[in-house]
Structure 1
Amino acid sequence: MDLHGKVALVVGGYGAIGTAISETLAAAGATSVIVGRNGDQARALAVQLTDGGYIAEGLELDASNTEAVRELSTSLVQRYGSIDILANCVGFNKEQKLLEVTEEAFDKVYSRTLRAGMFLSQAVAAHQIAADKGGSQIHLLSIGSSLGFRDRGYSSFCAAKGGLAILLKQHATELAPHGITVNGVAPGRVRTQKNDKTLGDKETFERATADVPLGRLATPADVAGAVHFLASGLSRFVTGQILYVDGGQSACR
């Protein structure tokens, strides 16, 4: 599980789950390059990690801007020598019931989720192939990449994440000859600071965990652990797979 000497590009690496992933990869020894739309948040997290004795850098990046993605990846390779790990944590959701979905909202979810994942993978893969030393790419999905949500307006979200789920399988087949693995991590419901107060209510918690066999929600650390495994040498023969971190929820559907 040791990642010393590896460079990890964590896109969207300062949200609740992204932060846990950035911290986990840095703690394992990787140079954690945290990027996202909010450059201040990316830099602030990088400073925290650096103060903790880890190696990190924070940069601003709009992952839906393909040219910016290419420029950043080239700059990182020039500075660090390689991008060994891509952890794609970006995504966007606009909840609208089926009959209310607008073209504008659908296109926005697509561009910030599926389209962003496509061209992040492409840009990083180009450098990984050129370096000829393998690598790993991990995309953050959702159980919504293969399941629908009752009473929720998730058409755009499920379409984008579902598209990313099959896209990573195609990328896995194309990149396998180069020793590059491509996998996905699909969390169920995740307990974060944002929803912690609401889940403190007993009835709300029981409803949220009613269909989770393990009887609790995932934590950001649970998701980060799965990413760490897929970024490490322990998973070198695992590619084109989706690891569900959902407490068994998808097994019951």
Structure 2
Amino acid sequence: MKTALTIAGSDSSGGAGIQADIKTMITNGVYAMSAITALTAQNTVGVQGVLEVTPDFLAMQIDSVFNDIRPDAVKIGMVSSTELISTIADKLIHYKAENIVVDPVMVATSGSKLITDDAISALKEKLLPLATVVTPNIPEAEVLSSMKIESAADMIKAAEMISKAYNCAVLCKGGHNMNDANDLLYSSGEYRWFYGKRIGNSNTHGTGCTLSSAIASNLAKGEDLSISVEKAKNYISAALSDMLDLGAGSGPLNHAFDL
């Protein structure tokens, strides 16, 4: 059985973060493992508290995984401090990790910044150059490319800039009032559009975590990047279409729709 490791924060309500990643990996046919960067007290309404782990303990978790059940792919989610980003990068280099998917969680859907400028710099300098693919949404792609994105042509230009700057593939996610969930994959100088139909479901808590974990799962199974993205998009569309409705705010999607 192929294996995947998620390095991310825990979501106590189970809709995003580590919990979403593990559910996604299992339902996409790989064995899931985790290294937790932070505990959060959160639900569909918001985040009530965050308790970050120490760099040493994060390193210990990653060592424990790689020294026993080596992951075939690694997904990295929200990491909010420079020290933790450095720890992850050092370990991935040490173990020569493969199939690294980085979901650069920097900007909330509301537009507010989630991590410090120092951490963004560390992410750019240390983690993105190790990535097989990075999966920014429009606001995150604007931060990484230092340009405003207002059209499909802008998405292509920004993705090309990010890809060349960090020598990785880029999946620039649409939505954010720009288009009907159309995503752009830019890899090795070529691009491909993945056209999605916007699903009338306001319960989208954890969609970014889920998409990046599904891509990592497919890469772990040996699929090429383009097929991995296509299958991940199909999975997330079906999970949203199941219309699960939990919580008072933006609820989770149904990761287990197919069980």
Report the TM-score when normalising by structure 1: 0.46
- The structure with the larger Rg is 1
Structure number with the higher helix fraction is 1
Report the TM-score when normalising by structure 2: 0.46
